[in-house]
Structure 1
Amino acid sequence: MTADHQGFATRAIHAGQAADPRTGAVVPPIYATSTYKQDGVGGLREGFEYSRTKNPTRQALEECLAALENGRHAFAFASGLAAEDTLLRALLAPGDHIVFPDDAYGGTFRLFDKVAVKWGLEYTPTKDSHVDGVRAAIQSNTKIVWLESPTNPLLNISDIAAISQAAHDAGAIVVVDNTFASSYLQQPLNLGADIVVHSTTKYMGGHSDVVGGALVVNDDKLAETLAFHSNSMGAISGPFDSWLTLRGIKTLAVRMERHCDNAERIAEWLTRHPRVTRVFYPGLEDHPGHEIAAKQMRRFGGMVSFQVSGGEEAAVEICDRARLFTLGESLGGVESLIEHPGRMTHASAAGSPLEVPSDLVRLSVGIEDADDLIADLTQAMGDRH
C-alpha cells in the first residue's frame, strides 16, 4: 500500500520517519548541527548545507505534516505566529487587503493590527463566517481570505469549500488556520483552501512542551515562494523542537478521539447547568455551524467555550476556582486548561471589533477521565456535591 492510501494514524507514525539507514533507529535522530561537510565546493549531500535552510530532523517533521494535510509541501517554524508572519511577508505588498473573521485568535489580530498595518496591510474583519459575508467583505485589492474553523474562542464554523470558491472567483487565495481542528479532524486543502496554518504547539505537539508552527501547501510555485522567505527570514523550527513535535504527532489520532469524547460530554453537561447562559461547541445540534462542521470535520474537537450569568467577575471566579483544569493560556495538550479570554489570550483585542464577551470562559478539554473533569467544573461553578 502506498503512503497516499494509508490511513491517518499510519501516516502520523510513519510519514517522513523511515528507520535510520545506518543504525536502524526507528525514531528520527535529532540532528543538532548548524552546518554540513561538503564533498568539494558545492558538493552537498542530499542538499544539506546549513540548518536554517534545511535540517534532516525538520525535514522529517515537514514531510509528516504535509502527509497529514494531504499536501505536497510543508514548512516548520519556531511558532505559529512566525509561520503567519512569514506567510504575510511572502505573499503581500503594501496596500494589499485581507478578510478575516472577527473572532480570530488574538495573536493573529495583533500581528495584523499592530505589526503588519505599519508596512501597509489593510484588513476587514467580518462577522459573517459564511460565504455571503466573506464575499461582501472582499475588495478589489483583497489578496487573502483568512479563515479559522472552528474560530478561537467562539467556535464559529466556516464553509471552507464555498468560501474558497468565492475567494478564488475574486482572485484571492484562502488561508485556513487549522489549529483548533488539527489535521486529524479536518483537511482544508481537500476543501479548496490554498494554505493551511498550524500552531503546532497545540494539538500537533499535544504535550505543552514545545512551541512551533507550520504552513502546508499543494501549489509548487507557492511552495517555492514560502521556502525562499522561510530561509531568508529564518524563523524556522530547531531540530529538538521539530523532534518533540514529531513525537507528539505519533499519537495525534488517538489523542483527538479522547479529546472529542470528553468535550462532547462536557458540552452537554454545560447546556444543563443553571449558571451557563450559552455553550459554544459545534457538536451541539443547535450550534449554527453544526451541519457544516459535520460535513467537513471528522468530529467536533476538544475546545468548548461558554458564557455564565453574573458577568465578567463570575467568569473569572470560575477560572480561579478550577483545580483539575489548570488556569493557563494555550490549548491542545493532554491536560485540561481553563482561561478567561477577555483578560488572557484575547486581551489584545479589547476595544476592537474582535473584543470577546467578558463573561466568556474557554476550555481546552484534555484526555483525563471525563467524570473527574465534570466534578472539577461542578465545584468551580460553586455547586455543592
Structure 2
Amino acid sequence: MTQDYVNTAESVDTDLFRHVVGHLASGVTVVTTRVDGRDYGMTASSVTSLSMDPPMMLACVNNSVPTAGAIERSGRYTVNVLGQTHGDLAYQFATPRQDKFAGVAVERGAGGIPMLAEAIASIECEVTEQVVGGTHSVFLGHVTAATAREGAPLTYFRGGFGRFEFERNDRAYERARDMVLSRVFAAGQVITVDELADCLDGDRAQAFYALTRLSGDGLVRRDPDRGYVIAPFDVRTSDDTFEARLAIELGVIDRVAGQCDPKLLAEARHHLDTMSRYLVDDHFEDFHAYLDANYAFHEAIVALSGNPLLIAAFGSLSIKNVMARSFGMTAQSSAAFLAVQRDLLEALESGDADAARRAAKAYCEMAKARTRQVLALTGGQV
C-alpha cells in the first residue's frame, strides 16, 4: 500500500533545513534489493528499527535514485549495517556509478537480494507499506531474517562518516512510551508531533521518531485523516492475545511433550530464574526487565516445536504490548504467576503433557483475570 503526504503549510528554506538536519547523527547502512535480474544498492542513513514485536524496519529512500523504484517493484530489501572501517563502502554506494557492486563481496538472501559480506549486520525485510513524502519514499518492512557480528557501527554527522554515540531518540521514545502506558494521553486522543515534542521538552525530530516507534508497538495508530491516535486497550484485546498464545503453546505441548530439546528447556529455565529476580514479594523490581524475561521464556517454550511458522505466529501477537498495558500498569503483582510458569516448565522437563496443559491453561486464565482487575480501575479501557 502506498500513501502520499503533501505539505501545504509554509516551509523553511531548503538550504537552511539541510544545514539544520545535518546536526542529526545517524548510523550508516547500504540498502540493497534485486529485481529483473539486476542488483541495486544505495547508502542510506535514514534507516531505523520500527518495532520489536513484530520485528519491523523503516527505510527512507530518495525517489530520484533507481533503488527506490527497484524496492517498490521487488517488495523486498536488505539493510546492511556498515562498521567503522567501511567508509569506502559508504562512499561507493553513495555516488552514481555503472556498477556499485564492483569489487564488493556479496552473499545472497531471500529472493537473491545481495547482502554485503563485510557488513556488521544484515536485516532482510519484506515491504508491508510504502509512504511517499516529498522527495522520498518510506518503506516499512517486516523483518524476515537478521544476522550480526562483532563490530562498532559507522555513523554520519555533518556531512561526514565517523564515530558517534547517539541515544537521544531512544530516550525520547522511552519517555513517550512511559507517558502512553501511564495514561498521560487518553485512549482515542489525537497526538501531534508538535504536542509530543512539547511534552518531551524536545524537538520535532525526536517526537516523530517516538511516534513512529509507538506505532510499531501498537500503542498508537496512524489515522489517514486525524494523524496519530492513542490506541485503546480493552478486555477483548487482552483475551484474544492471551488465548492465542495459549493455543500456540498447547499445540507445542501436544507435539513435543516427552521429547523436548534439553538446551531449549535450560534456556527457558534461565529466563524463569531471571523473572524471579525482578518479581519479589509480589512486587516488580523492574517491570521491563521482567517483561523481557517473560517474553523470552514463552518464546523458548514455543521454540521447542522447531516450527518457524509457530515461532513467527507467536512473535506476531504483540504480547509485550498487551502485558505492558495490563501487568505493567502497577508495580504490584503476585508470586503465583511465577509459580504457575514454573509448573509449566517442570511438567515439560518431566514429560508430563497433562500437567503442562493444565499449567498453560491456568496461566492464561490468571493473565486474563489480571487484566480485568487493572481495567476495572480505569473504566474498562486504557
TM-score, length of structure 1 as denominator length: 0.27
- Larger helix percent: 2
- Larger strand percent: 2
Bigger RCO (CA 8 Å, 6+ sep): 1
TM-score, length of structure 2 as denominator length: 0.27
Structure with bigger gyration radius? 2
